Amino acid sequence: MRKMLTVLIVDDDMLVRQTLRALVDWDKLGFAIAGEAGDGLEAIEEIDKTPPDLLILDMSMPQMDGLEVIRHIRQKGLDTRILVLSCHDDFHYVKEAMRLRADEYLLKHILSPEGLEETVLKLREQILADAKLKVDEIAVQRRSREGMRLLRNELLAKILRGPVFFTEIEEKIKAYAPDLAQAKFAVAHIRIRNFQEAVKSFEPDGEDILRMVLGNIVEEVGKDSFPAELVQLEQGEFALLVRMAATSRARVKTDMEALTKRIEYAMHTFFNIRMNAVVSTDCATYRGLGEIYRRVRQTGKHFFYEDAVLLADGQLAPIGETALPQAPALLDRVKSQLEENGFEDMLEEMQETHRRMADARPDPDAFMDWYAEMNRSLLNYVAYRFKLRLDQDKKDDFVEGCRKADNEKELFQCFKGMVAFLESLLASDSYKDVENRHIREALRYIQAHFMEDLSLSTVAEHLHVNGAYLSHLFKEFTGQNFVDHVKEVRIKKACEHLDHSDMKIKDVGEAVGIPNRKYFSKSFKKLVGMSPQEYKGRALK
């Protein structure tokens, strides 16, 4: 006799609950509806009485939302499978639900009998499969599946990176990827933009969850058109292998562009993650995949200079070996500008140099290395020339930060950030006549770190003195308390930003260490006599 499973429907909208009851034949799918709940609290009461096999759960509800229900289920260690329902604009709920190990999700506005039935049957199979195994057997099976997935990914990545001797890996292909032998594939190179920020939105286990989310989207999109598989390569970089029936370049290009656009749309719409993709215009058996992939990856380097989402192989000329200016010669000119005219003229010199280099489109890695070396040299020079002590971690941030730039504009912003840091340090020379050594060093430290989360105890710890003692000295020698002085430094720097940049007011507040917009506006008006908006408007007249 067929085993009947139980399902609990939870949604604060009675019409939605009734629709879910009627949308599919639950009995035919092997489920008995155990009950309904109109909010999270009612749901927990029902779950605690009799845990259902399947929970269909709305995210946004009064009393207690769906996320709290999922947390309750996870804390109790229940095996209930969870199908999340969400609205189009609630993707942040979906992300959190997936982080809490929800099993599937459906969007209400595109809910259909076919989609619900397919998802429920998939979950039924998972429930029955789990029921047949003991806990230790489940763990072994999952580790085995993940191990096979990793071995397959490793094999495909090796083929794509190339070169490989196929005679040496034929046995591995038979073991981990036997389906490769008879198929032809087109290839896309996918790159997650601002990868580190994207990962943070999925913490903990950010990289794994991001890969899983992208993989699920690829699977869902691909099943409606072409079977597709995601292969993880470097951090934030993936290859998309797509089985193709057509072989004409025009058709391959059209199909691949349509597929990757759908993937990009889903990632951006539901998870607020942007990506770039380069698609191949031809396809090959697994023996030719490496050549195609290396070509599309090379084309992908143009994204460092192009504000685009999608490119096709051959659309732009390959990025070549562009010669970059010799750093020592340019550094001498930069030093000269700095000595004679200060930071403003030096920045103009570098901005023009950067524009010429970016127009020539050198290899992005070489471009970032060039800037890293330039930053290192300039930091060392300024420290030596002006007898400054630079924090090594700060130096490393400016050098290594260049190698994390997402595009050429961010690369130059990294250089500008370093220049602003040096400029603020040199501004501390105005404190050289301050009689007390501790206060002199404290003022310099504030000038260099005002944009950070700065406190009296932080500065006291840096100077190796007692906080109360430093507070007393500060008032005695400056006539201000510590907090008022830091606020004054920050607001003065905010005025500079408003005078000389196009930064938005909320970004100015964050840049000077006052991220709370309301508090920033209040502090600004108190010291300047007008709001930041009024000040910026005055500056534009």
Handedness of CA 355, 361, 364, 370 (dihedral sign): negative
pLDDT at 163: 83
pLDDT at 93: 80
Q: Which of 40, 35, 215, 27 is nearest to 124 (CA)?
A: 27
Please tell me what DSSP assigns to residue 102: -
**H or E element at residue 57:** strand 54-58
Strand partners, 159: none
Residue 187 gets the label, from left (phi > 0), alpha (psi -120 to 50) or beta, of beta
- Domain boundaries of the chain, sorted by first residue: 5-131, 145-312, 327-428, 433-540
The whole-angstrom separation of Cα 209 and Cα 71 is: 17
Q: Half-sphere exposure (CA, 13 Å, Cβ side) for 247?
A: 4
Pairing of strands 310-312, 275-279: parallel
Pairing of strands 185-192, 275-279: antiparallel
pLDDT at 448: 79
CATH tag, 145-312: 3.30.70.270
Per residue of the chain (541 residues), what is the pLDDT tens digit? 567 899 999 999 999 999 999 999 999 999 999 999 999 999 999 999 999 999 999 988 888 999 999 999 999 989 899 999 988 667 778 888 888 888 998 888 888 999 999 999 999 999 888 777 655 565 555 666 667 778 888 888 898 988 888 888 888 888 888 888 778 999 999 999 888 888 888 887 888 899 889 998 998 888 777 888 899 998 889 999 998 876 788 899 999 999 999 999 999 998 999 999 999 998 888 889 999 999 999 999 999 998 888 999 888 887 877 778 776 777 787 777 776 666 777 888 889 989 999 998 999 999 999 999 989 988 888 877 665 667 788 888 999 989 889 899 999 999 999 888 888 777 655 665 667 878 887 887 888 789 888 999 999 998 889 999 999 999 988 899 999 999 999 999 999 888 888 888 889 999 999 999 999 999 999 999 999 999 888 755 5
Strand partners, 240: 188, 230
Provide the 10 A C-beta neighbour count for residue 248.
11
3-state secondary structure of 432: coil
Q: Which of 510, 391, 507 is nearest to 458 (CA)?
A: 391
The whole-angstrom separation of Cα 142 and Cα 140 is: 6
3-state secondary structure of 406: coil
- How confident is the model over 41-66, as pLDDT tens digits? 999 999 999 999 999 999 888 889 99
Fold of 433-540: Arc Repressor Mutant, subunit A (1.10.10)
pLDDT at 51: 94
Handedness of CA 94, 95, 99, 101 (dihedral sign): positive
pLDDT at 355: 92
For residue 54 the two structure tokens come to 């399947």
Same fold, 145-312 and 433-540: no
CA 492 vs. chain centroid, Å, equals 33
Pairing of strands 104-107, 54-58: unpaired
CA angle 189, 155, 198 (to 5 degrees): 40
Fold of 5-131: Rossmann fold (3.40.50)
pLDDT at 137: 60
3-state secondary structure string, 278-347?
Answer: EECCCCECHHHHHHHHHHHHHHHHHHHCCCCCEEECCCCCCCCCCCCCCHHHHHHHHHHHHHHHCHHHHH
* Beta strand segments in 113-233, E: 185-192, 228-232
pLDDT at 10: 95
Q: Which of 127, 92, 86, 91 is nearest to 107 (CA)?
A: 86
pLDDT at 2: 65
pLDDT at 238: 95
